[in-house]
Amino acid sequence: MAGSRVLVLIPSYNHGPFIEERVQSVLNQEHKTFDVLLIDDGSTDSTASYLRSLSADNLTVRIRDRNSGSPFSAWRDAAKIADPYDYVWIAESDDVAQSAFLTRAVAALDASPGSAFYYCNSWHIDEDGEKIGHTINYLGHHFKGHNWLSAAEIEGREFNNRYQIFGNAVPNMSSMVMRRESFQAAVDDQLDRYRLAADWFFVGRLADTGNVLFDPWSGNGFRHHGRTARAETRLERLTFEYFRAVQLVSKLKGVERSQFEEAMKRCTVMFIHERGSAVKFLRQGFRSDPAGMIQVLLHLVGRALRHPRLLGGAMNYISRRSAR
């Protein structure tokens, strides 16, 4: 028996120092029933040169002349050709995986027909591949109710209501393998509007289609370096996208109003605590998503009117920031 078929998407952009290790960690998977679609989005470093040297029967390489401006254009390309496959794995071009990763993911998904996706823990690694941390610390700190050291199958709507509304409970996309139908349903044009929080919303949409399979095994290497999106993101943009992600996830089925209110409160506290610029926050929001910014403001004004002390504090805060 050949086993379930997996489409592996490797979206690549300027990850020359890491791309070879990533490609080899995919091609060396123990589960062999997979095809690789590697899309380079107009890299200006050594990436394209390496990719032109690749040759494998199950590997298709597309090198774009120009950057598309969206990391999610490759996701849409994958969704269009995914019909013959059972599962989809987005293997980010700067991450790595243990050789047993697909074997474990496919076995878990095969055993749970009602599941939307599988994911495992990850080691944080630096540019040299040295371990510098672990996702268990992030998961344990931000998402209470599960110890993250034991395997679990969580009903998708419960996952969104208990965890995903407060942040992305899947710290790294490379650690996840999705059921093909769930992947295709979750790919959305709204992803292009956001740089950091799109993964958060995307995972929420995935969980809306089925159960979530968590594996405490550390089968993924999550790379951290100066080129990562998080390293390049300003506080105001990050905060606006967090507000919007919370709003978008809250509209999914099963998310309680009280959980939404608590999540929005945490976003507000984060912004004020980190001393973000209110003016830059507004400018960033209206530039990237005017309709979304209006929704954020309506919620904040409504909350302030219900809590006058919050409104006064916010006005004093904005005045102090504007006077600097």
In this structure, is residue 37 part of a structural domain?
yes
Q: Which of 89-93, 210-214, 219-223, 296-300 has the lowest mean pLDDT?
A: 296-300
- pLDDT single digits (tens) 236-269: 667 777 788 888 898 999 999 999 888 887 777 6
264-298 burial code (b ≥16 CB/10 A, e <16): bebbbeebeeeebbbebbbebbeebbeebbebbee
Average pLDDT estimate for 151-160: 97
Answer with the residue of higher pLDDT: 195 or 275. Answer: 195
In this structure, is residue 175 part of a structural domain?
yes
**Whether residue 201 is found in the same domain as residue 247:** no
How do 87-90 and 96-97 pair as beta strands?
unpaired
Res 136 pLDDT > 60: yes
In this structure, is residue 47 part of a structural domain?
yes
CB-CB contact of 86 with 6 (8 Å): yes
**Whether residue 150 is found in the same domain as residue 213:** yes
In this structure, is residue 160 part of a structural domain?
yes
Domain that holds residue 106: 6-231
Res 206 pLDDT > 90: yes
Average pLDDT estimate for 201-230: 90
Output the six-digit token pair for 229: 């999106």
Round to the nearest angstrom and report the end-to-end CA distance of the chain.
Answer: 68
The Cα angle at residue 157 between residues 156 and 162, in degrees rounded to 5? 100
Q: What is the pLDDT of residue 322?
A: 44
Res 312 pLDDT > 90: no
Number of domains into which the chain is organized: 2
**Whether residue 304 is found in the same domain as residue 181:** no
**Whether residue 129 is found in the same domain as residue 247:** no
In this structure, is residue 1 part of a structural domain?
no
Q: Point out which residues pair with 124 in neighbouring strands.
A: 133, 222
In this structure, is residue 71 part of a structural domain?
yes
**Whether residue 146 is found in the same domain as residue 272:** no
**Whether residue 38 is found in the same domain as residue 117:** yes
**Whether residue 95 is found in the same domain as residue 176:** yes
Q: What is the pLDDT of residue 228?
A: 56
Q: Which of 17-31, 80-94, 183-197, 205-219 has the lowest mean pLDDT?
A: 183-197
Q: What is the pLDDT of residue 1?
A: 45
In this structure, is residue 73 part of a structural domain?
yes
Answer with the residue of higher pLDDT: 228 or 196. Answer: 196
In this structure, is residue 294 part of a structural domain?
yes
**Whether residue 178 is found in the same domain as residue 61:** yes
Res 103 pLDDT > 70: yes
**Whether residue 143 is found in the same domain as residue 111:** yes
Q: What is the pLDDT of residue 84?
A: 98
Q: Point out which residues pair with 221 in neighbouring strands.
A: 96, 123
**Whether residue 89 is found in the same domain as residue 223:** yes
Query: Domain containing 123 — which CATH number?
Result: 3.90.550.10
For the chain, give the mean pLDDT: 86
In percent, the amount of the chain with pLDDT more than 90 equals 65
- Give the model's confidence band at 274: pLDDT under 50 very low, under 70 low, under 90 confident, else very high: low
Q: What is the pLDDT of residue 116?
A: 99
CB atoms within 10 A of CB 224: 15
Domain boundary among 231, 252, 276: 231
- pLDDT single digits (tens) 48-97: 999 999 999 999 999 999 999 888 999 999 999 999 999 999 999 999 99
Average pLDDT estimate for 187-194: 84
Compute the half-sphere exposure of residue 47: CA atoms within 13 Å on the CB side of its CA. 26
**Whether residue 257 is found in the same domain as residue 226:** no
Domain boundary among 231, 261, 293: 231
How do 59-63 and 34-40 pair as beta strands?
parallel
Domain boundary among 173, 196, 231: 231
**Whether residue 90 is found in the same domain as residue 55:** yes
Res 199 pLDDT > 90: yes
